[in-house]
Chain A
């Protein structure tokens, strides 16, 4: 059995976080998105944000619990993690879909949204998630019934 310490877990989180960020950046560069197909933009944006989330989590948690590193270094890890969190807290308010500016038709985005498929299908695609969620719930209930 692997003997994984807190320090190794934090290190793994930072490695995974930074690599996810760059994988997301590579996806958006290798598969450029167009006005009619935004799949690449969405997938790359999601992967990049999850990566930054993992990095921030690792830095903040690492700054609190990690042992066996210099005290100043530990403090710096916590401080930089918290600064990163604050930057993204403020930055998250700038993340808005502004379809009228990005070269699409329609002044407020409704026309663009109705005319253009959104990678995940036409409006109403949320039902797919609902059905998937219900299937997962049924599966979990079945597994629990078999176990007990």
Chain B
């Protein structure tokens, strides 16, 4: 497969979404996080936020700079990329239930 901008964006989207869901699953698998024991929460947050970061970059940069895509698809990627980024800024990155 040739590594052009479109394929890189698709790879980033697929990898990011799977990382995000894998991080959510890890939170369950690694066992209860408590106020004393935060390792599952920390590992899960790292995977989820890495995934979300890759998704946002792929969507916003892909929506702006990928040439061989439909106009609708590009604007959809751009709008949802910005919405996701805003959601992450205001919700996901500031929500730590174990911070006391």
Which residues of B sit under 8 angstroms from A57, Cβ to Cβ?
Answer: 13-14, 17-18
Interface set of A (CB-CB < 8 Å, partner B): 38, 41-43, 45-46, 49-50, 52-54, 56-57, 60-61, 63-65, 71, 75, 78-79, 82, 85-86, 88-90, 92-93, 95-97, 99, 108-110, 112-113, 118-120, 123, 125-126
Known: A42-B31, A49-B25. A86 touches B13 (CB 8 A): no
Is B4 interfacial (CB 8 A cutoff)?
no
- In the docked arrangement, what's the CA distance between A45 and B27, Å? 10
B35 touches A109 (CB 8 A): yes
Known: A61-B10, A85-B84, A92-B92. A119 touches B17 (CB 8 A): no
A86 touches B83 (CB 8 A): yes
Number of residues in B with C-beta < 8 Å to the partner? 43
Q: How many A-B residue pairs have CB under 8 A?
A: 120
- Contact pick for B21, options A56, A60, A79, CB 8 Å: A56
Which residues of A sit under 8 angstroms from B77, Cβ to Cβ?
Answer: 64
Which residues of B sit under 8 angstroms from A123, Cβ to Cβ?
Answer: 37
Which residues of A sit under 8 angstroms from B34, Cβ to Cβ?
Answer: 97, 99, 108-110, 112-113
